[in-house]
Amino acid sequence: MSKRKLSRQQRWRIEKVQAERARRADRRDSQDSDKLAAGEYGPEQNGRVVAHFGRTLDVRPDEGGTAVRCHLRANLEGLVTGDRVIWRAAHDARDGVVVARGERTSVLERPDPRGQLKPVAANIDQILIVFAVEPAPHANLIDRYLVAAEATGIAPALVLNKIDLLPEQGGELRALLARYEGLGYPVVTTTTEREGGLADLYARLSGRTSVFVGQSGVGKSSLIDRLLPDEALRIGALSEDSRKGRHTTTTARLYDLPAADAGTPDEAGSGELIDSPGIREFGLIHLDEQQVTEGFIEFRDVLGRCRFRDCRHRQEPGCALLAAVERGEIHPERFASFRRIVESLETS
């Protein structure tokens, strides 16, 4: 793109706006410091970010209650939904200030418009890769999602939805599922068309913070609608302020899942869901060849045993991966998937 020439006046205006913004942030921070010093904020509390909009966040107190609109100390950057924070409530209890971020157990990143990876959500325990009887899944696409999930260090699990459309015998899909279960991935099946069709999913979600990803049309929205049936529940996690609709951005949000059917012991501890349109599309991010290779978990035992240290597992003599495919220890379709994904890196 050719550099757009800005007139001197435009440049001056932009600088002025930026200077004003910086001044406002400084002022706010020194006001915070004054207020903190003057004891206008209550004691430190733990909380979790349930939504974020630039420099303001909604924080859910660990002790319970609705989320509180908070702003950030100027020295805190890059907080995202799911972050654990230490915050202090203003004495009028209407808002608060976040003073520190807790350590993250995991972070999900996506490229920004300039291609730089930016965190979008933190402290996620599992990535639920949704696929469906219709549209029929390509094993290659499932592998693509699995590899992307493995690269984040967050545990993936597979959700096969629309099993009401499954042929009597289960067809090829059952075999596909067995393959992934054989690799150690949890697999649950669901249908939004039958009462109790989400029982296995509830058990999977229980006690964890999850995100749903997957191809268009597999039923992510339908599943989430069923899990959060109440519109009020969906917005319940948000503070009064953000309900006014000032923020229509596509920020990630953290939801508390209500327990399925109270009374069934398994389903008692409900779990949490972080969702945004951007997160749902996760999986098609750029990876490098090493990430792809290591993303095939059954390769891990074999990697490093090839004769050549820089083996790319094509037709090199003494390739341990090719030998494992020969012996039937690595499924030929998984290996073909690996090859296809690596080739797609080369052409993109």
192 binds, among Zn ion, ligand GTP, none (CB under 5 to 8 A by kind): ligand GTP
Question: In this complex, which beta carbon is closest to ligand GTP, that of residue 126 or of residue 161?
Answer: 161
Residue 22 to residue 17: CA distance in whole angstroms: 9
Task: Tell me the binding residues.
Answer: 161-164, 214-222, 306, 311, 313, 319
CB contact at 8 A, 134 and 162: yes
What does the binding site for ligand GTP look like in residue numbers (CB under 6 A)? 161-162, 164-165, 191-193, 216-222, 280
Structure-token pair, residue 48: 């979790």
What DSSP state is assigned to residue 169? T
Question: In this complex, which beta carbon is closest to Zn ion, that of residue 129 or of residue 321?
Answer: 321
Question: In this complex, which beta carbon is closest to Zn ion, that of residue 239 or of residue 293?
Answer: 293
Please, what sign has the CA dihedral across residues 22, 26, 27, 32?
positive
Comparing CA positions, the residue from 207, 221, 256 lying closest to residue 236 is 256
306 binds, among ligand GTP, Zn ion, none (CB under 5 to 8 A by kind): Zn ion
Please, what sign has the CA dihedral across residues 14, 19, 25, 31?
negative
Rounded to a whole number of angstroms, the minimum distance from the CB of residue 341 to Zn ion is: 16
Question: In this complex, which beta carbon is closest to Zn ion, that of residue 23 or of residue 314?
Answer: 314
Question: In this complex, which beta carbon is closest to ligand GTP, that of residue 193 or of residue 261?
Answer: 193
Structure-token pair, residue 113: 């418009």
CB contact at 8 A, 80 and 120: yes
Three-state DSSP at 238 gives coil
321 binds, among Zn ion, ligand GTP, none (CB under 5 to 8 A by kind): Zn ion
Rounded to a whole number of angstroms, the minimum distance from the CB of residue 318 to Zn ion is: 8
Question: In this complex, which beta carbon is closest to ligand GTP, that of residue 152 or of residue 221?
Answer: 221
Question: In this complex, which beta carbon is closest to Zn ion, that of residue 287 or of residue 306?
Answer: 306
196 binds, among ligand GTP, Zn ion, none (CB under 5 to 8 A by kind): none
Task: Tell me the binding residues for Zn(2+).
Answer: 306, 311, 313, 319
What DSSP state is assigned to residue 66? S
Three-state DSSP at 68 gives strand
Element (H, E) at 170: none
What does the binding site for Zn ion look like in residue numbers (CB under 5 A)? 306, 311, 313, 319, 321
Rounded to a whole number of angstroms, the minimum distance from the CB of residue 197 to ligand GTP is: 7
313 binds, among Zn ion, ligand GTP, none (CB under 5 to 8 A by kind): Zn ion
CB contact at 8 A, 69 and 242: yes
Own/partner pairs, 260-267, CB within 8 angstroms, 24+ separation: 260/198, 260/199, 260/202, 266/202, 266/203, 266/206, 267/199, 267/202, 267/203, 267/206
Task: Tell me the binding residues for GTP.
Answer: 161-164, 214-222
Please, what sign has the CA dihedral across residues 104, 110, 112, 114?
positive
Element (H, E) at 161: strand 155-161
Rounded to a whole number of angstroms, the minimum distance from the CB of residue 219 to ligand GTP is: 3
Rounded to a whole number of angstroms, the minimum distance from the CB of residue 217 to ligand GTP is: 5
Structure-token pair, residue 318: 């003494």
Rounded to a whole number of angstroms, the minimum distance from the CB of residue 336 to Zn ion is: 15
Rounded to a whole number of angstroms, the minimum distance from the CB of residue 238 to ligand GTP is: 21
Question: In this complex, which beta carbon is closest to ligand GTP, that of residue 61 or of residue 278?
Answer: 278
191 binds, among Zn ion, ligand GTP, none (CB under 5 to 8 A by kind): ligand GTP
Rounded to a whole number of angstroms, the minimum distance from the CB of residue 186 to ligand GTP is: 19
69 binds, among ligand GTP, Zn ion, none (CB under 5 to 8 A by kind): none
CB contact at 8 A, 222 and 228: no
101 binds, among Zn ion, ligand GTP, none (CB under 5 to 8 A by kind): none
Residue 126 to residue 111: CA distance in whole angstroms: 20
